[in-house]
Each structure stands twice: as structure tokens, then as C-alpha cells.
Amino acid sequence: MIAIGLIGANGSGKSSVCTYLHEKGYVVFSLSDIVRDEARQNGLALDRDNLVSTANALKKQEGQDVLARRVMSTVELSIAEDVVFDSIRNVAETEFLKSRGVRLLGLEVSLQSRYDRIKTRQGDTDQVDFVTFSRQDEREASGSSFGQHINACLPYCDTIISNDGTLDDLYAKVDQFLLED
């Protein structure tokens, strides 16, 4: 089994990489799906602030690596296929997954490019202006939100790629990453 974890800010291209790897036969597991399920169970709207609050509550109750542990238990119960873990956001999750042999791929893109991308995709959490997006990004990147510190996770990555080009450019970089092991 090949296991890859993705680390990157909102709009950095993690979903595009997941789609690409899924087309190559990988099974995609998102740590955020656990948070979305929990928020739904609590009757909360699936906006970014509610999701962050829900994730933080889970992490305070069960530990910083709760999302990674829950996802990994699902993977261990399923078939041993190649997998990709999406939405890794803190060092405890990073360390847990690395200890299980997961190779980490980081994605970096400028703030403005990421904002332009989320405005195009128009997901549930993408209905924000640039000021709000910037505030959310700073909170998630810097560790000022309990349980989220994307910038501290990036040094754990086996490879960090700049996703500032086309999808074909991104896919070529992912293919190169896959060849590195």
C-alpha cells in the first residue's frame, strides 16, 4: 500500500491532487469529512468558522491527532489499496501519519491565487470576501486557531511543490513525487 498525505492551505490544490490520484486508483480519505459529519450531527451549517470550531472541540476532547487516528482506523479496516489523506492541518496529525509510513506532499500557492481559485470553485466554505479569506488563512496557517497550524506542518513534508501553473503542471509534479520513493 502506498499512502500519501496532503498538506496545504485552502485553495492550494489539494482537491485537484486528490481527484488526480483517485483517477490513478487511490482511495481518498479526508480528515475534514470527520469534521463535516460531526458538524451535521450537531445541526451546524457547514461554513468554515463552524467547521473550525467543531474540529477544535474534537481535538480538545480527544487530542490533536484525533482526525488522523479516526481516518487511519477506517483505512486499516478497509482493503489495503493505495490511499491519499487530505486536509492535514496540525503537527500531531502529521507526526501520527508519518509514524504510519505516510509520505507527505505539501502544496504552496500565493494567497491571491488561492482566493481566485476558491471563488471559481464556489464550495460551501468558499462564499467569503478577500478580507475574510485572508483572516481565515492566517488563523489556519499560523496556529492561532487551536488544532490548526499548516505552516508548522510543511517542514515535515517529503516534498513541497509550488502549484502556481496549470493542472497539467501540477499533475506532472505529482507524478514526479510518486517516482521519488
The more confidently predicted of residues 47 and 61 is 61
| pLDDT of 125 strictly over 70 | no
- Could you tell me if residue 181 is inside a domain? no
Tell me the C-alpha distance between 89 and 31, whole Å. 9
- Could you tell me if residue 87 is inside a domain? yes
In whole angstroms, how far apart are CA 27 and each of 17, 22, 38, 73, 86? 12, 6, 22, 14, 11
Query: In the prediction, which pLDDT does 133 show?
Result: 84
pLDDT tens for residues 49-106? 888 889 889 989 999 999 999 999 888 756 668 999 998 989 999 999 999 999 999 9
- Could you tell me if residue 162 is inside a domain? yes
- Could you tell me if residue 42 is inside a domain? yes
| pLDDT of 26 strictly over 70 | yes
Range of the domain at 139: 3-175
- Could you tell me if residue 180 is inside a domain? no
- Could you tell me if residue 116 is inside a domain? yes
- Could you tell me if residue 144 is inside a domain? yes
Q: Percentage helix, strand, coil, to 5, in the chain? A: 55, 15, 30
What cell does 97 get? 501519519
Give the CATH number of the domain where residue 164 resides: 3.40.50.300
Q: Which of 2-16, 44-58, 107-121 has the highest average model confidence (pLDDT)?
A: 2-16
| pLDDT of 159 strictly over 90 | yes
Structural domain tally of the chain? 1
Q: Cell 496545504 appears where?
A: 8
